[in-house]
Structure 1
């Protein structure tokens, strides 16, 4: 569920990307009360010195980690679209990903590798990592996160194709459940030219290579 108007005093950047430094006090108070109740339910004393500020800190952390609900990824992309007759693959790789699993509300993190083939327009390179954050800063599953990023780029830029690979470690697998600390989950999604084996192979080879 969107938290629209949760941050009435936030400052918006000119590209539509928002860094939240202030929070709605009423929302923080409401969330803090819930977290105080959680501490009590697990057998802790929320009034002891080390936990006095914990409910408020957790409330602010949760709002930061889910700020993607209030951001518009398409607006971010269109703020830096430029006409350019370039029709070769553009890749932004090793984009850091931090998100939260919607099943256990535990973090998963890793890297995203994204490519598109322009069709008359290119986008400012910094906007690709920013839209990753928009979708990652929501309660997610990695499969949906992958598709949402792909679809946003395809629908907004209308490129000849989009390719995306995401590799993440999930704390719901390493801290609890099967407790496999070294497992990595890889998801991928493709459109257009990337559905062709030759283009897809070129993309996968390029994201696997290292400079110099």
Structure 2
């Protein structure tokens, strides 16, 4: 509880520094709301990606690409504490083991719900999957908008940043091409 009180006091101080009246009706509960929001937006620090993946590993004979496309995520830029809004595409080629499908988006959230830079987020997801599942290959592509570029600084709205992390068979041109063809194909129908 002491840490929460310290956080709320810091928010109140910040509001006062920018010239706000922290006693006005709209701001009285803001420090508490900001604490709860930050707790939710940074819960990835309290989650173990290795444990999450290990809880849902299954043996398989499948050796074809498993891909989850368009995983929406929200993160915060570690430089400005402003939102990063994006989509991740994650694939792997099994080598005797698959992981429960829901664990892949959970992996994205675990790392996204930490203060981040997109380049690091992409690598962390790929490395965790590669370490725990030990597949023949892993591919992660992230496309995101950064509010630190849109709301301040250069003010470039609707610009997107794309990063990728490829491991194993995805470094081979034919597998790489198949992956990028799939993630770039239009969605015909939503189920």
When normalised by structure 1's length, the TM-score is 0.87
Equivalent positions of 1:33-48 (< 5 A) are: 33-48=9-24
Cα shift readout 1:47-92 (whole Å, capped 9, x = no counterpart) = 1111000011001111111111110011111100000110000000
Q: Secondary structure at the match of 1:135?
A: helix
User: For the residues of structure 1 that align with 2:5 and 2:43, how far apart are their CA atoms?
Assistant: 17
User: For the residues of structure 1 that align with 2:88 and 2:12, how far apart are their CA atoms?
Assistant: 35
1:162 aligns with 2:138: yes
Corresponding residue of 1:31: 7
Corresponding residue of 1:12: none
- CA positional deviation for 1:107: 0.4
- CA positional deviation for 1:134: 0.4
Structure 2 gaps of 5+ residues are none
User: For the residues of structure 1 that align with 2:172 and 2:108, how far apart are their CA atoms?
Assistant: 24
The question of whether the paired residues in 2 share the 8 Å contact of 1:165 and 1:188 is answered with: yes
User: For the residues of structure 1 that align with 2:184 and 2:90, how far apart are their CA atoms?
Assistant: 12
User: For the residues of structure 1 that align with 2:158 and 2:12, how far apart are their CA atoms?
Assistant: 34
Count of aligned pairs: 188
- Aligned mate of 1:56, from 32, 38, 54: 32
Corresponding residue of 1:186: 162
Corresponding residue of 1:177: 153
- CA positional deviation for 1:135: 0.3
User: For the residues of structure 1 that align with 2:21 and 2:117, how far apart are their CA atoms?
Assistant: 33
Corresponding residue of 1:112: 88
Structure 1 gaps of 5+ residues are 1-24
1:91 aligns with 2:63: no
Corresponding residue of 2:108: 132
1:211 aligns with 2:153: no
- CA positional deviation for 1:27: 2.6
Q: Secondary structure at the match of 2:127?
A: helix
- CA positional deviation for 1:211: 3.3
